[in-house]
Amino acid sequence: MREILRVQKLGKNLGGYLGETIDIRAVLRDVEIAAQQHGWSSETFYDTGEFKLFALHRKPEARSQKSEARIYISTGIHGDEPAGPLAALKLLQENNWPENAEVFLLPCLNPIAFTLNTRGNSIGIDLNRDYRNPKAAETRAHISWLERQPKFDLYLCLHEDWESHGFYLYEQNPDSKISLAEKMIEAVQKVCPIDLSENIEGRPAQNGIIRPNILPLERPDWPEAFYLITQKSRQGCTLEAPSDFPLPVRVNALIAGVNAALASYFL
Ligand SMILES: [Zn+2]
């Protein structure tokens, strides 16, 4: 426990993310290698020549007798949030999925932004505000891929927040299904501090959990999660790692959150 409590904010992020960056080409190369090794299929749905956007797919194991569920996991939509693609890579390498999980994993939705260390794409569009009336080619390609997919039982979007005091998450659960949020926080707090602020990003929060009371139809600038909750899924979480902490801590926080969500969902 003492080790954990020693994890402190680095104090680097002044006005934005100023921590380590990643070689996104190398990370995505490793992602493809790990996916191939573990029998995932890969579909490219957008290609600029320099970078491609791709979706990985894992079928539930044939021997599984349990009921199956479809899980959607995406990350890398903001290029100044390197822990997401690294967590996707590690999750693939660890290959520790519930046997009855069908998983759709999008390891990086905005690769060019990682070469620029920017939130937006190459022309400054924040893709995560572009899902209602999409302007960016990347968003359009992603939505048209999503339209071809079945509905998901659960979605998880992996992000980072440059100014938060610890990990937190947003949970969308309009049908009041069994919440996964508390279990996720319980798991993450073993590896990363939780942001205990009562107000995070202008929304009431409790023990690192924000349950936004938002009507997507009243907002013009939809993040990916709004598209997912209105079109593709009835339950999901957006995970936010604190990017002013050491990178390995943030990667482990996202992984612990994903694994706890899956473990509780497939209980
Ligand atoms: Zn983000």
CA of 40 to the centre of ligand 1 (A): 26
Confidence (pLDDT) at 4: 54
Question: Which stretch of DSSP H or E encloses residue 203?
Answer: strand 203-204
CA of 256 to the centre of ligand 1 (A): 18
SS3 content of the chain, % helix, strand, coil (to 5): 35, 20, 45
Q: The tokens of 92 are what? A: 């693939």
Q: What is the amino acid identity at position 115?
A: T
Q: Are 53 and 140 in contact (CB under 8 A)?
A: no
CA of 130 to the centre of ligand 1 (A): 13
CA of 64 to the centre of ligand 1 (A): 35
Confidence (pLDDT) at 2: 47
Residue 11 and residue 191: Cα distance in Å, rounded? Answer: 19
- pLDDT tens profile 220-235: 899 999 999 999 999 9
CA of 213 to the centre of ligand 1 (A): 19
> Could you tell me which of 264, 255, 260, 249 has the C-alpha nearest to residue 6?
249
CA of 23 to the centre of ligand 1 (A): 18
CA of 160 to the centre of ligand 1 (A): 5
CA of 240 to the centre of ligand 1 (A): 7
Confidence (pLDDT) at 212: 87
Strand 52-58 to 101-106 pairing: antiparallel
Q: How confident is the model at residue 8 (pLDDT cuts 50, 70, 90)?
A: confident
Residue 5 has pLDDT above 80, yes or no: no
201: three-class secondary structure by DSSP: coil
Bridge partner list, 168: 240
Q: Percent of the chain beyond pLDDT 90?
A: 86
Residue 92 and residue 160: Cα distance in Å, rounded? Answer: 20
| Longest Cα–Cα distance in the chain | 51
Go through 99-135 and write b for each residue having 16 or more CB atoms within 10 A of its CB, e for each that does not.
eebbbbbbbbbbbbbbbebbbbbbeebbbbbbbbebe
CA of 48 to the centre of ligand 1 (A): 22
Q: The tokens of 62 are what? A: 């044939």
**How many Cβ atoms from other residues are within 10 Å of residue 195's Cβ?**
20
